[in-house]
Structure 1
Amino acid sequence: MIPPSAAPAFLDRAGWDGAAILPLAGDASFRRYFRVVRGDARAVLMDAPPAHEDSRPFLHVAAHLHALGFAAPRILAQDLDEGLILLEDFGDARVAEVVAAEPTRERPIYEAAIDVLRDLHRHGPDMLPPYDMAVYQREAGLFTEWYLPAVGLEAGGGFAAAWEAVLDTIAGRHDVTVLRDYHAENIMLLPGGALGLLDFQDALAGHPAYDLVSLLQDARRDVSAELEAAMLDRYGALDRAAYAILGAQRNTKILGIFARLWRRDGKPRYLAFQPRVWGYLERDLAHPALAPVREWFDAHVPPTARAAHWVAA
């Protein structure tokens, strides 16, 4: 977490000359974050190397969310040639840590997070690219590309056809903004009780059930089946078959991504989340709407390859 060499000059141009640059966080991508401190003023520096990350979608979605009245970080300065963006600092009250420290706050915070989605889904997606069949298939394919080799298996035929069958109607829904990574580690508690949104640069126009899955089938923390059911009821009218289908698709993708982070990127810590993700996936696959995909998994992924005990290897 050494700051990029261009950071001091960038901060000088932005009026933050002499500010301290402190490590804040990295994530599963090539992006890194630093806290910038000068006196009592604070901001967040996002380092998104242009060779690996395109920050223009982040700026577009941030503007879209702001226009709708949602709390995305304000953009204080930017230099896309260097991959540097200075953001409003939302502080340290991240939902994941808050509910871990104060479990009694879990339900009201999740209720507020559901309300954000319900409000967001009242608006159109503002010319975002579509979450179409090609994207769904590419994401699901990460499972056969990365997870199966990690457990010593080869992909059998019919994987894409099975997903085609269950995603056929969903892939045509492009009516809401899908943030795509809406979960407890990407939501901040702000003064006054508002929720701050982070990590939305991959947003697409898609189905309203997707971000509900992101929140309620969280790969990084346990969300009880009781809380999941209560929050779905709070959201209101929703195609539960679509929720199960998108849950299965997202969790299949995540299993592949976490295996890739381990094998390709040298980030083994994500492997500890695999058993939880398998639990969600097994539950989703039990829905009748997932029959073709469930049959493929039953034929090609034995139970011993599902529990992720291979992590220790």
Structure 2
Amino acid sequence: MSLRLAQLRTWIARHHAVAADTCRFEPVAGDASLRGYCRVYLPDGTTRMLMDAPPELEDSHAFVAIGRSWRAAGLPVPAIHAVDLDQGFLELDDLGDDSLHHHFVDTDSARRGTAQAIDLLLRLQRLASPAELPPYSAAFMEEELERFPDWGLGRWLHLETPSCWATTKQQLLARIAALPEVAVHRDFDAMNLMRVDGELALIDFQGALAGPLGYDLISLLRGRYQRWSRAEMDSWIDDFHRRSREDFGAHLPDAATFRAGVEAIGAQRQLKILGQFCRLCLRDGKPRYLDWLPHFYAQLDAGLEALPELAEFHAWLRETYHPAMQARLARHHAEQAQEPSKGAST
């Protein structure tokens, strides 16, 4: 047993006033952060989820503050039962392992799950106050965008940034700036929506900010687990626009402007991901994220079709970036396939 796990075991046993050796632990798959998770089975049969977030690596203050605020507002987030921010330990409700993405088995089930997730998203927008969150500023969005030329082009592909990049950023940020401000989860993905007794609950919300309406919508619609046609995307976005009128009134742009703004958010997010997943490989030693690059490129390619002002950048992606990315991934996979044989010969 690692020292860290021993400390966690001692902490939870002391909190529940039970012997440490009566608690059984089960590791749970983590995420792209440096947090770790495990399920603890207590002697009385209760299970809880334990978060291990070493304070020198992860600041959990935001998770605690947002979790308590959103739960008090009536949103379905796990209750926080114990907190030790000095050690980086948290005890949470155990919401199980049934995340929504497991139910995206075909188009019909994906459509049902997406509709249920959008119902929850509308609740989130109505109940969570953006005033309690830091701003998702244009400067921060631009910094995220720069991960694409920095990590996705320069460090991963050794490609020069296209000459239209500065204009592309300005046009995306201008589109996004026209949208009203709401509380934004920022990773509203089917994997972060847990099914509990047929209802959905939110997890992984520590990065929430006050940002543009539609950010979480496009995170869901252009996420990891489903690709929608242009007609289906327009239908989802237009319906969301209609349902948001009651909350935003005159502050809500017309349907066409809203649709373009939402797709601009999607492009900003996909570009960030294409850079960030390369960073996870090169900096953090997590090469499995590279396997998602073709999927998120395809989502970006589809979204840019709704933004004709970005035609020059879109063409560069298709003619230069995409072939280079495919070739580099092929080399990467070939290198990985050779590694076991290299190890066997030494």
**Alignment pair present for 1:261 and 2:280:** yes
Q: Distance in 2 between matches of 1:230 and 1:166?
A: 22
**Alignment pair present for 1:209 and 2:214:** yes
Structure 2, gaps ≥5 residues long:
243-254, 332-346
Quote the residue 1:153 is aligned against.
159
Q: Distance in 2 between matches of 1:136 and 1:110?
A: 26
The within-5 A match list for 1:162-177 is: 162-168=168-174, 170-171=176-177, 175-177=181-183
Q: Which has the greater radius of gyration?
A: 2
Quote the residue 1:181 is aligned against.
187
Q: Secondary structure of the residue that 1:155 maps to in structure 2?
A: coil
Quote the residue 1:107 is aligned against.
111
| Offset, 1:290 | 4.6
Q: Distance in 2 between matches of 1:37 and 1:295?
A: 56
| Offset, 1:172 | 6.9
Distance 1:32 1:304, change over 3 A: same
Determine if contact 2:54/2:88 at 8 Å carries over to the other structure.
yes
Q: Distance in 2 between matches of 1:290 and 1:78?
A: 49
Q: Distance in 1 between matches of 2:297 and 2:312?
A: 16
> Higher helix proportion, which one?
2
Match of 1:141 among 136, 143, 146: 146
Quote the residue 2:330 is aligned against.
312
Q: Secondary structure of the residue that 1:4 maps to in structure 2?
A: helix
Query: Aligned AA for 2:71?
Result: H
Match of 1:287 among 263, 286, 306: 306
Stretches (4+) displaced over 6 A: none
* Cα-to-partner distance string for 1:235-291 (whole Å, 9 max, x where unaligned): 233510111110100000000011111111121111111111111111222223652
Q: Distance in 1 between matches of 2:180 and 2:238?
A: 23
Match of 2:137 among 132, 143, 149: 132
Quote the residue 2:30 is aligned against.
26
TM (norm. structure 1) is 0.90
Quote the residue 1:276 is aligned against.
295
The within-5 A match list for 1:63-142 is: 63-100=68-105, 104-123=108-127, 124-142=129-147
TM (norm. structure 2) is 0.82
Query: Aligned AA for 2:42?
Result: R
Q: Distance in 2 between matches of 1:221 and 1:82?
A: 35
Quote the residue 1:37 is aligned against.
41
Q: Secondary structure of the residue that 2:77 maps to in structure 1?
A: coil
Determine if contact 1:114/1:231 at 8 Å carries over to the other structure.
no
Q: Distance in 2 between matches of 1:128 and 1:206?
A: 9
Q: Percent identity?
A: 36
Q: Distance in 2 between matches of 1:207 and 1:126?
A: 13
Query: Aligned AA for 1:208?
Result: L
Query: Aligned AA for 2:9?
Result: P
Provide the aligned C-alpha RMSD in A.
2.3
Query: Aligned AA for 1:119?
Result: R
| Offset, 1:127 | 1.9
Q: Distance in 2 between matches of 1:248 and 1:190?
A: 32
